[in-house]
């Protein structure tokens, strides 16, 4: 509700440009249980269930649902058929990576560079688009924002 919006703007203005660090309790108050499970506990929504899986807007951008940090332009979103929103590039500096060795695999986890919220994983070498990157992102990790965000875009994995 309105309270959440006010808190959100307060956090944005006091910590713009800095890392956002909230306690587990503060995140629990800010996020829904589903959002908390994905963004803070690195959960995954079931394939094909996300609200943005089939959304291909003609404007705007996708921001972190945890802190509002702009992550992806509408132009970067493409249909990969994987069951989750897919993007082939991100706003420069918006996304960070970690090596994830869970489930006996070696994957590259992507997180919001500002609050470390879990977004999903990035896959390379599939040749689906020119960047050769597929950011496989949980819908509940991001929020679609209609207003444009002007910033340069880049691949997150540096060759």
User: Which residues form the catalytic set?
Assistant: 136
Contact 99, 109 (CB under 8 A): yes
Nearest by Cα to 95 from 65, 66, 125, 115: 115
Reported as type and span, the H/E element at residue 33 is helix 33-39
The span from the CA of 46 to the CA of 127, in Å, is: 25
The span from the CA of 86 to the CA of 3, in Å, is: 31
- Pull the structure tokens for residue 27: 């995140």
| Residue partners of 7: CB distance under 8 A and separation at least 6 | 30
Give the number of C-alpha atoms closer than 13 A to the C-alpha of residue 32, restricted to the C-beta side: 7
- Pull the structure tokens for residue 74: 């509408």
């Amino acid at each position: 509700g309105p309270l959440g919006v006010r808190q959100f703007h307060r956090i944005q203005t006091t910590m713009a440009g800095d890392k956002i660090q909230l306690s587990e309790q503060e995140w629990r108050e800010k996020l829904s249980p589903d959002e908390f499970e994905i963004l803070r506990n690195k959960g995954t929504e079931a394939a094909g269930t996300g609200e943005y899986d089939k959304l291909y807007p003609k404007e705007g951008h996708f921001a972190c649902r945890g802190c509002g940090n702009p992550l992806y332009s509408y132009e970067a979103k493409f249909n990969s058929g994987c069951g989750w929103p897919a993007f082939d590039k991100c706003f420069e500096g918006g996304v960070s990576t970690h090596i994830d060795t869970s489930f006996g695999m070696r994957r590259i986890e992507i997180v919001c560079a500002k609050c470390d919220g879990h977004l999903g994983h990035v896959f390379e070498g599939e040749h689906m688009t020119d960047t050769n990157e597929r950011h496989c992102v949980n819908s509940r990790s991001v929020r679609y924002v209609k207003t444009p965000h002007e910033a340069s875009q880049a691949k997150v994995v540096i060759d």
